[in-house]
């Protein structure tokens, strides 16, 4: 098996539903595997990694580009690499850059592995970083991903966040940040995170997203959302609230 191969869960053309490029027609390349366990995760089917030997889902970057070409109807779109957690597969990500020519590549990540994020950062034209509230994370599935560098405690995540923000602000290419607000969240829980963003990366676009249920649209807690937005404004940031467009359109 080619060492740059990765498990590709799905490839499809759709509209970007979140972040700085919301509404842009993109081709999505979803990689399998995630060691995190966000309590609001809407793609838990992406968590497991299929066996290499027993699966046709492991593709080289070139094989993945062939799948991309099959779904694009002859017009190249920016490719959004999503997951799961794509940083589990840095060799694949670097290989994808080599075989995708001048195509725009976007990365959607939680950035749990800073070394991998640093290694692949220059391969992407845009990085969308999910900032996790430690309280939204169940214990990571470390035993399934022995090569991963996983923050284990809230203080680990706090330390990682500062380094993630420093890395993204040092990039010349674009980046944005996303927070997910679940119903019942105490806005005060976000204050340390927002203080880090204000100190380290105030210029990065900050999107505040109400958590979507796995089916249907958001019916949740506007008071929590308003509270987080107010806390972001108080921190001197310019938050933008954005629900998931693809959910509203009823597409993947």
Count how many Cα atoms sit within 13 Å of the Cα of residue 163 in the half-sphere of its side chain.
16
Nearest approach, Cβ of residue 34 and ligand SF4 (Å): 3
Nearest approach, Cβ of residue 48 and ligand SF4 (Å): 11
Q: What is the C-alpha separation between 83 and 230, in angstroms, rounded?
A: 30
Stretch that binds ligand SF4, among 4-12, 77-85, 207-215, 237-245 (CB under 6 A): 77-85
Give me 185's structure tokens: 């969240």
Q: Which is nearer to ligand SF4, 41 or 160 (CB)?
A: 41
Q: Which is nearer to ligand SF4, 35 or 187 (CB)?
A: 35
Helix (H, G, I), strand (E, B) or coil at 44: helix
Q: Which is nearer to ligand SF4, 34 or 181 (CB)?
A: 34
Nearest approach, Cβ of residue 180 and ligand SF4 (Å): 8
**Total residues interacting with ligand SF4, rule: CB under 6 A:** 11
Taking residues 29 to 48 in sequence order and writing x for each that binds ligand SF4 by CB under 6 A, - otherwise, the string is -----x-xxx--x-x--x--
Query: Whose structure tokens read 């979140």?
Result: 18
Query: Whose structure tokens read 């999107």?
Result: 207
Nearest approach, Cβ of residue 40 and ligand SF4 (Å): 7
Q: Residue 100: in which H helix or E strand, if any?
A: none
Q: What is the C-alpha separation between 166 and 48, in angstroms, rounded?
A: 31
Give me 142's structure tokens: 């470390």
Indicate whether 83 belongs to the interface with ligand SF4 (CB under 6 A).
yes
**What is the DSSP secondary-structure string of 2-36?**
-TT-EEEEEEEEEE--SGGGTT-EEEEEEEP----
Q: What is the C-alpha separation between 118 and 168, in angstroms, rounded?
A: 9
Q: Which is nearer to ligand SF4, 48 or 202 (CB)?
A: 48
Helix (H, G, I), strand (E, B) or coil at 68: helix
Q: Which is nearer to ligand SF4, 43 or 174 (CB)?
A: 43
Query: Whose structure tokens read 């290499």?
Result: 52
Q: Which is nearer to ligand SF4, 137 or 235 (CB)?
A: 137
Q: Contact with ligand SF4 (CB under 6 A): which of 85, 164, 181, 187?
A: 85
Taking residues 197 to 226 in sequence order and writing x for each that binds ligand SF4 by CB under 6 A, - otherwise, the string is ------------------------------
Q: Which is nearer to ligand SF4, 179 or 235 (CB)?
A: 179
Q: Which of 101, 36, 31 is nearest to 69 (CA)?
A: 101
Q: Which of 126, 28, 153, 134 is nearest to 82 (CA)?
A: 28
For ligand SF4, the binding residues in 106-125 under the rule CB under 6 A are: 110
Residues contributing to the site for ligand SF4 (CB under 6 A): 34, 36-38, 41, 43, 46, 83-85, 110
């Amino acid at each position: 098996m080619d060492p740059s191969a990765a498990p590709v869960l799905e490839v499809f053309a759709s509209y970007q539903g979140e972040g700085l490029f919301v509404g842009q027609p993109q081709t999505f390349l979803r990689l399998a595997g995630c060691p995190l366990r966000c309590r609001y995760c809407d793609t838990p089917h992406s968590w497991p990694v299929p066996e290499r030997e027993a699966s046709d889902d492991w593709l080289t970057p070139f094989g993945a580009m062939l799948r991309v070409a099959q779904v694009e109807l002859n017009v190249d779109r920016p490719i959004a690499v999503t997951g799961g957690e794509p940083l589990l597969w840095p060799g694949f990500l670097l290989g994808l850059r080599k075989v995708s020519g001048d195509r725009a590549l976007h990365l959607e990540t939680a950035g749990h592995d800073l070394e991998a994020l640093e290694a692949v950062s220059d391969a992407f034209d845009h990085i969308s970083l999910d900032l996790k509230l430690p309280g939204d994370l169940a214990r990571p599935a470390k035993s399934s991903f022995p090569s991963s560098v996983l923050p284990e405690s809230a203080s680990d995540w706090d330390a990682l966040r500062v380094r993630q923000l420093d890395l993204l602000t040092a990039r010349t290419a674009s980046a944005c940040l996303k927070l997910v607000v679940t119903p019942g969240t105490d806005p005060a829980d976000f204050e340390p995170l927002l203080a880090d963003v204000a100190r380290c990366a105030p210029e990065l676009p900050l999107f505040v997203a109400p958590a979507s249920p796995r089916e249907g649209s958001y019916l949740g807690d506007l008071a929590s959302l308003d509270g987080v937005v107010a806390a972001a404004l108080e921190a001197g940031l310019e938050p933008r609230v954005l629900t998931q467009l693809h959910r509203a359109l009823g597409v993947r």
